Structure 1
Amino acid sequence: MARTIAKDHDEKRRQILKSAAKVFAKEGFDRASMALLARECGISKANIYHYYESKDAILFDILDTYLAGLRTRICDLPLSGLTPENRLRRVISEVLMAYQGQDHEHQVQVNGLGALPEDQQALLRRYQRDLVQFVGKVIADCAPGLRDDKAKMRAVTMSVFGMLNWYYMWNSGAGKSAREEYAGLVCDLTLNGLRGL
């Protein structure tokens, strides 16, 4: 007889992912054991295997959940009716808000993605690429004269992500108002920089 799924299965899975992201971020993927993950989650090692067959499966689910969610949250923003500048402001602000509380997941993305098989890496990189292309298009709409210079537009887009990721690294505990203030600064730097190119 098949084992039934507990009513709180999805909530426990989310708790496992959150706890495992913390362990992977602090200890590194290679040094983290299933026993350590189970201890951090507050469950038995046998119980963690009820949810995941391996720590590789946990790593993939952390990154798949995080990156797919980030891509959807940003790329599905309702932006119609906004000026190009206000679209950029909305997107940059939303990226910083999406990063809030995701420090461990973000660090696991940076350091752990290479531990996965190529097919899984390809899927996760597609999420990243979709997000970068979307933000790049929003930036390009603010500088139509540069739209045909793909190398320069990519450099500008990645510079914006660099500024946003810097904030994540050095101001991870910042609240909504501080994030909105920094988002405004990134927008001002980007818009004024585009005018000077």
Structure 2
Amino acid sequence: MARTQAADYDDRRRNILIQAANLFAEKGYARTSISELATACNASKSWLYHYYPSKEAILYDIMSYHVTELLECARDCRDEQGSPRDRFRELVRRFMSLYIEAGSQHVILLNDIGCLPEDKQKEIQELQDDVVAIVLELICEVNPALSGNKKFKKPVTMALMGMINWTYTWFDEKGPINEQQFADLAVDLFLNGLMSKEFKG
């Protein structure tokens, strides 16, 4: 007889992902053992394997959940009412909120995708490409002239993504500005340029 799933099966899997993300981000995926992960979950290795067949499967789910959240966020902002500038600003604000709330997952997505087999890498990359495509779509709504200039579409879009994606390397949520203030700063610099910005205390 097949084993019946516990009522909190999904919650337990989600907790495994959270604990694993924190460990992988802190120690590195390759340097984290299943034993260490089981300890972090206050469980045994056999208990862990009941929920995930391998460490690789855990890594894949961490990335999949995170990039899917980003994709859903991008779709929501694209489809909302409001001007292109307002929707674009809201997109960057929500991305920054996700980066702070799921900081470990974001670090792993950026740094450890190469630890997955090629077919799984491709699945994650396709989701990331969908996110970037929506960001480009919103940027082109803000400045329609970009729509007809294939040469600059990717560089412009990735310039914006570069401003916010790597904030985990330096941004301090307890620092002088919060993530929403930084998101607005990034949007202002991206849309209007440095010289248009007045910096006041």
Match of 1:162 in 2: 162
In structure 2, the partner of 1:187 is 187
Asked whether the 8 Å contact 1:75–1:134 carries over to 2, the reply is yes
What's 1:25 paired with?
25
TM-score using structure 1 length: 0.90
| C-alpha RMSD over aligned residues | 1.9
Query: 1:41-80 residue pairs with structure 2 within 5 A?
Result: 41-77=41-77, 79-80=79-80
Q: Measure, in 2, the Cα distance between the counterparts of 1:52 and 1:140.
A: 42
Tell me what 1:86 maps to.
86
Change over 3 Å in CA distance of 1:97–1:83 after alignment to 2: same
Secondary structure of residue in 1 paired with 2:112? helix
Q: Matched residues in 2 for 1:78 and 1:88: separation? A: 8
Question: Could you tell me how far 1:73 is from its partner in structure 2?
Answer: 2.1
1:107 — aligned with what? 107
**Structure 1 stretch displaced more, 76-85 or 149-158:** 76-85
Q: Distance in 2 between the 1:167 and 1:115 partners?
A: 22
What amino acid maps onto 2:77 in structure 1?
Answer: L
The answer for the alignment partner of 1:136 in structure 2 is 136
Aligned length: 193
Task: Give SS of 1:133's match.
Answer: helix
Letter in 2 for 1:62: I
Greater shift in the superposed pair: 36-45 or 73-82: 73-82
Structure 1, gaps ≥5 residues long: none
Identity value in percent: 38
Unaligned runs of 5+ in 2: 197-201
Whether contact under 8 Å (2:38, 2:44) holds in the other structure is yes
Report the counterpart of residue 116 of structure 1 in structure 2.
116
User: Secondary structure at the residue paired with 2:179?
Assistant: helix
